[in-house]
A = this chain, B = another copy of it.
Amino acid sequence: MFSVTVRDHLMVAHSFRGEVFGPAQRLHGATFIVDASFRRPELDADNLVVDIGRAAQQLGDVLGEFNYRNLDDEPAFAGINTSTEALARIIADRLAERIGAGEFGPGADGLTGITVTLHESHIAWASYERTL
């Protein structure tokens, strides 16, 4: 199995609801370093998993929808805790939709899975892994 990963980042404000979050129930923020990995069992005709420039552009576009925002004000996140693990899934699902819609190019048909990892600090990170 092959994979290619591209890294970008996201700077957002948000707050959490629930006693388990302690002081993180207050409005605060995070830089998320975001690693998006694309998997497939065999390489395409160019010997690639995915056009890495296009993958980086698509990841940037997905992150651009959230970047420099307060997630508490975004209708898409109304009523949910935007935990690191939940954001990892949202980003992975949006990348999967774009692959399905052909935005990664025809060679991306061979992709079989995605993993998205969000690093919230140097001592904590979360991932979501799915098939395509």
Contact = CB atoms under 8 A, between A and B. Distances in A.
Interface range for A: 35 or more
B127 A7 contact: no
Please state the number of chain copies in the assembly: 6
Interface of A: 1-9, 11-14, 16, 18, 20-24, 26-33, 43, 46-49, 51-53, 56, 67-70, 80-86, 88-89, 105, 107, 120-130
The winner among A5, A21, A22, A68 for most chain B CB atoms within 10 A is A68
A1 B124 contact: no
Contacts of A48: 20, 81, 83, 85
B85 A1 contact: no
A120 B128 CA distance: 24
